[in-house]
Structures are given as C-alpha cells and as structure tokens.
Amino acid sequence: MIKLTNVSKHFHTRTGIVRALTNVSLEVQKGEIFGVIGYSGAGKSTLIRCVNLLETPTSGTVEINGTDVTRLPKHELLAIRRKIGMIFQGFHLLKTATVYDNIAIPLRLMDVSQQEIDKRVGKYLRIVGLEDKHDAYPSQLSGGQKQRVAIARALAQEPELLLSDEATSALDPETTESILELLLTINQELGITILLITHEMNVIQKICDRVAVMEKGEVIEQGRTVDIFANA
C-alpha cells in the first residue's frame, strides 16, 4: 500500500545541510499496523510528512497503491490525500467549534452532503465511544477524549490509510492503553491500514505487526515486531 524506495530528504539551513532521511526503504502492506520507532531527531516526522505529501523527497520515490506520488500534479495529489487520515500528538482540534463541527467542517470542504455528514458524524462518534459529546467543546474534554474526536474526524473522511504522529505521547499510560485499543479495533474492524511513528516502545509492542527502527535518518532495522523485539 505504501512503498518508500531509497528516500532521502535534505534541508538546506543557514548552518549547512541537514540530512533528515538517508536512503529509507520500507513497505507497508494493506491491512497492517506498521510502526516507526526512534529517538527525537531520527527523522520520523520527516518520513511521515513524505507519506502524507507535505514534503517532497530530495531523492527516491514514495508510492501509494502503486502510484509514485513524488511526481504528481497538484490536483491528483489532492485526490490521494483524501485517502489518508492523520492524527497528531497535539490533537489539532478547533477550539471554537463543537465536536460535531470539528468532524463536519473538513467534510463540508470536501463537498460531502449534509445528510451524509450527519450519518458519518454519528457513526464515527459511536465507534470512538463519544456519541453523547456532539455539542461539547474541546475544552470540556479530557486528553483521551480529544484524541478520540480527532480519530473520529480522521475516520469520517473514510480513508484507506491512517497516519499517526505520536498520537499517544501526550497521554497518561492508562489513556494511552485505551487509545491503542481503539486503533486496533479500527484496524481490525474497519480494515484501515495504520502507519504510526512513536518514540515509545510499548506502542510498538502492543499494536504493531511490523516495525522499522530509525536512527539519524536511516532505517537500521526492519521486520516483524516479535522478531525484532523478541527479548525486549
């Protein structure tokens, strides 16, 4: 579903060239949960930004469902982006909008009909367990509930792929556990492929089928979680 081949990304800064990614190759299969783990600065965010098309690699290719997205015109990128949902460490909810509107607004921008929007908001709030929070504002929710709203918003777009950027890093261990359970459910019951980046080993061990370990912009190990972290 996602295939990176020899992806490098360099940033030119005042102090010189930063090599954020060097020859990264990995393949995420349809239906799996794939984790990328590494310390801060390893290149994880840059990698995920190359997949969600916010960055263009300096060299190498990123294929999504067999299409090389590094060389696509803008209007075609937009169509592919709609198949990708994203969640973040900081939730990125609109503070001045209700839970309903936080989920509905992106759908309106995609010209989804009002009837369909109502249907999807109801359906995905039920899946994340917040059907009674339609009219709440983010400030009235706990961190875990905010992440659930962000997950419902991502799902309401009905993506094939969910990208998670440190989605549990701001949450306490118990809340982390419940969000990871939810991601597993989404993967198994809705069939959504998940690519996540994290610096937390427990996230990898709890839900990832396969893992890539990154250090200084390179993938230093890659394989089934049970094989790579057998003795961890």
Residues that bind ligand ADP (CB under 6 A): 11, 13, 18, 20, 38, 40-46, 89
How near is the Cβ of 67 to ligand ADP at its closest, in Å? Answer: 24
How near is the Cβ of 174 to ligand ADP at its closest, in Å? Answer: 23
Residue 108 CA to residue 111 CA, distance in Å, equals: 5
How is residue 136 written in tokens?
């709440």
Residue 229 near residue 211 (C-beta atoms within 8 A): yes
How near is the Cβ of 65 to ligand ADP at its closest, in Å? Answer: 24
| Alpha-carbon dihedral 215, 72, 88, 156, rounded to 10 degrees | -140
| Strand ranges of the sheet holding 161-165, from the earlier edge strand across to the other edge | 84-88, 161-165, 193-198, 33-37, 210-215, 218-224
How near is the Cβ of 116 to ligand ADP at its closest, in Å? Answer: 32
Residue 208 CA to residue 32 CA, distance in Å, equals: 8
Q: Which is nearer to ligand ADP, 158 or 200 (CB)?
A: 200
Count Cβ atoms within 10 A of the Cβ of residue 136 and give its class: 0-12 exposed, 13-18 middle, 19 or more buried.
Answer: middle
Identify the residue whose tokens are 């980046």: 197
**Residues in the chain, total:** 232
How near is the Cβ of 204 to ligand ADP at its closest, in Å? Answer: 14
